[in-house]
Structure 1
């Protein structure tokens, strides 16, 4: 059984055919494009694109959407903004996609943000929670999918205020817009006076850095007993491992960017991740308590048939499954009107519950605001080999 990344993406993952060699698709074809870090420093996220392509393969095998097949073109941008620009221009100007969907990363999406809005091409359900995606009046052709990073960070800050009201906090963050969103949200969640009193150290890193070991040593030296980390999986794993190796035992909170067991915690060593706190929107596919439920069974069946080399325990695989359902829902709602204007209209008129979302969380949008479909989260603690929910579902508002 082969891993069907999609009928198109296998051929064009990194390099596509020249324009002259491309046969135009029939009028019934729905062209959707994306860029994804299949290589580079954030390649752990590549599983998202593989599962999204697998889901589209399944939909096509069932007859497509409203009688139309979806041509899903997923290109490698290596998490490099210049490459994202190059590949996105190709998708729009050569492949003539109707929308760009699910591109991963704040710096990569920012690199094509104005271009897609100027071209009036839907930038649909970007895989990043940067606050800028909520500015729908300024950028009407862009919509997020995840709770924004500032709101997520406020949830962590309020947890710290409850659990360690006299704590000394150190913060590690990626030096880009996403990291600054987390930093700003965490401070806002603490409140100005508490932030000034409790935060004793901050350190940032560049995606091009080899490790974050020196930053962890600097943060430990501050005397902090709380560590909040915003990082991609590679650097998140490094941070967890280094904290353990130097014998530092702070209360650790990590952002959603790096809470995957397969992509972050396992590479770090599960024994080193005990007690971590993070926020979730989806069911942990490695948690056996979900395994008898119909939505997990559907998810597992998809991977077994269409993406058998993907680790079904990887939470980023489950994220790709959820996001793909959002794309299909929008296209189904479009009916016969597949104009770019109607695609955006339908993206801002959603109300459904994708399979594998946690109970109490759904995807909902309305035309009068720019908030992403998913707005709520639930905190969990890592214990043993799984994340264990703690507390109630919390709105990101």
Structure 2
């Protein structure tokens, strides 16, 4: 007996790279982890203290499907303080990570057979999740000429209409960002054409010289997705949120009740404290900035000269077409020869990804510096 065709989606290849890296570590060999988009630091001290208090005092039962009121209120306050945008807390849905948010948002917004556009390269789970629910991903080939971001011009070249558009700023894997003018133009095009805008904002807070713009500031119809995983350094707590247009709040609530019941209660209670931890969190961002500067200086010495701007997030996306036409094999050799784990571009761009790879600089400064040293020596010995 065969399983459902919905499960016949490609793997998330970075997880395959991590598996190989962990196998190397189990064999007693060292690994420098530049493959995974995960902060090397844990949750802020205030969050840990709140979690300990909750464990001592709270039975941690189910919560409302949309999240506990104090957390929804804290998120609304964050939008007022961070972006100057008034968001009604009743439009906020707390989710099981951004992954849960995308599942709920896609199910609420799109029907089987709909088409949803996105940049290529982009986060692979967009394509895979849409495919699993019967929605067609429509990839917009982007490059340096468009800042690796979708544009109105690319959308207007499509041969058939789309019902949705996903944007990410800062983006994974490129770290590129949309300006307010660019995001507004895309939002206006979506509104004029009856297209649902989905804005992935999980790397907000991780920017280097340019402030990220939330889609909540330029469109009331957009689905805005964010997470406690990246800036807030809480990946394993599995907690995210959405800002929803009013007409999607009840559909998302019903879906969440049936699919998830609620996001993890301990994580919700503790996360309220996260918004008071910005001094600690901004120190992490300063470390990422130093790692970014180091790699932008050192990677060209190893021959990596065609790099996406990396204005945000903690990734550098490198064109390696002058080194290999198989970035998967290239990354495998890199791990075997140097202990550096990096991600081939096939995760992010099925058509052109064999000519690209992604380096994460979310780790410690010592690890990133040692990776740069080994990479230069490896390339010079090639």
TM range (shorter): 0.3 to 0.5
TM-score, length-scaled by structure 2:
0.32
TM-score, length-scaled by structure 1:
0.31
Larger helix percent: 2
